[in-house]
């Protein structure tokens, strides 16, 4: 394996290490309060959740379609993509590697993890500008953002031509 593919391997592992806390640690806290004369602030709503807790809550409140979409695009596809990229780096047959890489490229377009991060950030900005609504981003957001960036870097650095050259010399 050349240096680029070793770096890609390390980045894919690092992205998985960021994905787990990105899914399980609190991501966003939203608090809604009203100012009532003579009483002061009266809290109407407060929730701090991780991605996994949000999925669970959506299922609990029968928002199954939204919960399933978040589960697929923010959990299943990112994990599947990382595992398949590790297989691409480790597989012995070039044709097998090429098919898996093409599949990863196809599902990568459907991976909405980066869009999810932007959505959370926009929700934070929108609610932070309201006087009666406060929002706070927690470490889960930063881990998830790191996952997105590191995983994209890993794919971009990967050198498939080197894999093909190595295999053709190895097979001759």
Q: Write down the pTM of the prediction.
A: 0.78
pLDDT value at residue 101 = 80
Helix, strand counts (H, E) of the chain: 8, 3
* Residue spans of the chain under pLDDT 50: 167, 171-172
pLDDT value at residue 111 = 66
pLDDT value at residue 110 = 65
pLDDT value at residue 107 = 76
- Which residues, listed in sequence order, are joined to residue 43 by a DSSP beta bridge? 33
Exposed, middle or buried: residue 111 (CB in 10 Å: 0-12, 13-18, 19+)?
buried
pLDDT value at residue 138 = 92
Domain count, the chain: 1
What range defines the domain where residue 148 resides?
Answer: 3-171
């Amino acid at each position: 394996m050349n240096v680029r593919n070793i770096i890609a391997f390390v980045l894919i592992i690092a992205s998985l290490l960021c994905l787990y806390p990105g899914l399980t640690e609190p991501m966003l806290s939203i608090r809604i309060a009203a100012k009532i004369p003579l009483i002061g602030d009266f809290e109407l709503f407060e929730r701090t959740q991780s991605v996994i807790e949000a999925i669970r809550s959506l299922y609990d409140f029968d928002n199954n379609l939204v919960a399933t979409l978040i589960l697929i695009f923010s959990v299943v596809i990112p994990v599947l993509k990382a595992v398949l990229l590790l297989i691409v780096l480790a597989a012995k047959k070039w044709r097998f590697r090429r098919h898996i890489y093409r599949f990863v490229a196809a599902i990568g377009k459907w991976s909405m993890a980066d869009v999810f991060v932007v959505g959370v950030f926009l929700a934070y900005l929108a609610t932070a500008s309201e006087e009666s609504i406060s929002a706070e981003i927690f470490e889960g957001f930063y881990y998830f953002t790191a996952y997105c960036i590191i995983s994209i870097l890993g794919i971009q650095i990967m050198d498939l031509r080197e894999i093909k050259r190595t295999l053709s010399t190895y097979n001759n």
